[in-house]
Amino acid sequence: MGRKIITTNRKAFHDFTIFEKYTAGIVLTGTEIKSIRRNAVNLKDSFAKIEDGEVFLYGSYISPYEQGNRYNHKPDRVRKLLLTKKEILKIHTKVKKDGYSIIPLEMFFVQGLAKLEIGLAKGKKLYDKREAITKKTQERDIARQIKR
């Protein structure tokens, strides 16, 4: 499967523990897809919400297209995500029942179509973040020792 990654939300992996991942399509305008092809996307503080049985992406920033005229898009508009009804119901029950958040993880192209990988996540506490950092440094040190 040819996946060309556009952007990754690294902050999501640092601040949240991801439990499940889903791939969703995105409803975009013409100038938005042109900006995405130029990697002018930021998912840093974005999140998704379920409203009336549909999933919407908030807080994502797609830069305005340079050659776009008066038909250019709003950079921070709310975008609809495309998932199956079964997936939406499953995600909705987990969000309501277990208190998960829906966080975008990465945006990529599959056969020329822009897709978004979203994850069901729970926020990490400060001590969890510290544990993750120490674990990463220990793994790096072990890898360095093995190289030698």
Q: Are 99 and 83 in contact (CB under 8 A)?
A: no
Cα separation, 62 vs 67, whole angstroms: 14
> What's the pLDDT band for 102 if we cut at 50, 70, 90?
very high
Extents of the domains making up the chain: 3-147
CATH superfamily of 3-147: Small protein B (2.40.280.10)
Cα separation, 116 vs 105, whole angstroms: 7
pLDDT digits (tens, 9 = 90+) for 57-81: 999 998 888 777 777 878 889 999 9
Cα separation, 7 vs 1, whole angstroms: 18
pLDDT digits (tens, 9 = 90+) for 38-52: 888 999 889 999 999
Token code pair at residue 61? 């920033």
Predicted model pTM: 0.82
